[in-house]
Copies of this chain bind each other. A is one copy, B any other.
Amino acid sequence: MIVLLQSTLAESEQRALAGRLEAWASDHGARLVGFGPGWGKCVEVDLAAGAEEEACASQVRQIDGIEAVLTASRPTHHVAGAGREPQRIEVGPARFGGGFASAIAGPCSVEEHDSLLALAWQLRRAGATALRGGAFKPRTSPYSFQGLGRPGLEILRSVSDQTGLPVVTEVLDPRAVELVAEFADVLQIGSRNMMNYALLSEAGGAGRPVLLKRGMSATLGEFLLAAEYLAHAGCSRILLCERGLRHFDPTVRNLLDLAAVPALKRVTHLPVVVDPSHGTGSAALVPAMLAAAAAAGADGFLVEVHPDPRHSVSDASQALSPEVFATALERASKVLEACDRRLARPAAETQPV
């Protein structure tokens, strides 16, 4: 089992606490195997053969100065939901959780200011309460479009300021977290970086909510531990995002794991968002999966919308047109109501003429 020490303890207090742990261990046939350099404020304890881990953990939790004790059946601390109310996270008009679901919509990558502004107003009218779009793009090939970078962030910020839709955008590099956090309302960590722990630690400390996408072959346990990295670095507003898994059928880009929504809600209080666009890779399947995500209990939706899907620079085949998005979101809204929840909607129209 792993013992987390309170992070506020002075070094001398930590040493004293380690002494108390040593004493407990020697009384119980256990030993401290991890402690000191490389362990942060954690101590690993090897229990005596046959010892019952949960019972030992309960005892050790009583020791003064202990923040938490992690066991095989409870490997997380901050993101473990046991005994907590489901969390509601609000960002501008968007509300995730607590009976509300919100749509985050926008293009795969930011290409140009005026067209994005026009699209953002369309999205808002359709019921979206946040804007997505990539300024830094993770691309499988070094020769593919890598995003506009800082100019892309400036476009996003400007469009957000005019439309009132908060910005969700991806950060790829720990060295860019400060820059992205300056422009974005929510930092996105993509699937390929779910296990990029340097990035998680930096993004978790940026003072912004973080939308964390599940790795393309990550178990739910690994997903929650990645969220724990964010929380451990200080992040208190984490949105988990299911976005489809790698699998064997080449006719479908990803396999959307909607059962992850109720499964996650059993073990964490964090809101869960679903991305039916990457989750299927096919625009024709997105409306049905958006409705299904609403019925499965999702607290938010991340949907790729492009003003002219056939001419997008990237990921064209999965983007919806604004019109199809509006229709699909209406259906999802009705499904939410059938399930006693509601779509969070932006305030009444304020677009300047």
Contacts and interface: CB of A to CB of B under 8 A. Distances in A.
Contacts of A147: 38
Contact of A38 (B37, B145, B294): B145
A143 B70 contact: yes
Interface string A36-49: 01111010100000
A147 to B, nearest CB: 5
Given A37-B149, A247-B248, A331-B339, A172 B143 contact: no
Contacts of A77: 143
A339 B220 CA distance: 30
A122 interface: no
A4 B142 CA distance: 11
Contacts of A75: 141
A217 B285 contact: no
A255 B245 contact: yes
A32 interface: no
Interface residues of A, number: 90
Nearest to A287: B262
Interface stretch (A9-17, A53-61, A95-103, A193-201): A193-201
A307 B262 CA distance: 24
Nearest to A233: B142
A62 interface: no
A297 interface: yes
Interface in A222-276: 222, 225, 228-229, 232, 245-252, 255-259, 261-263, 266
Interface string A128-153: 00000000011111111111110110
Nearest to A140: B225
A174 B172 contact: no
Contact of A221 (B192, B245, B251): B251
B193 A335 contact: no
Contact of A196 (B148, B149, B192, B295): B192
Given A259-B289, A291-B339, 4 more contacts: A245-B247, A256-B257, A258-B289, A262-B289
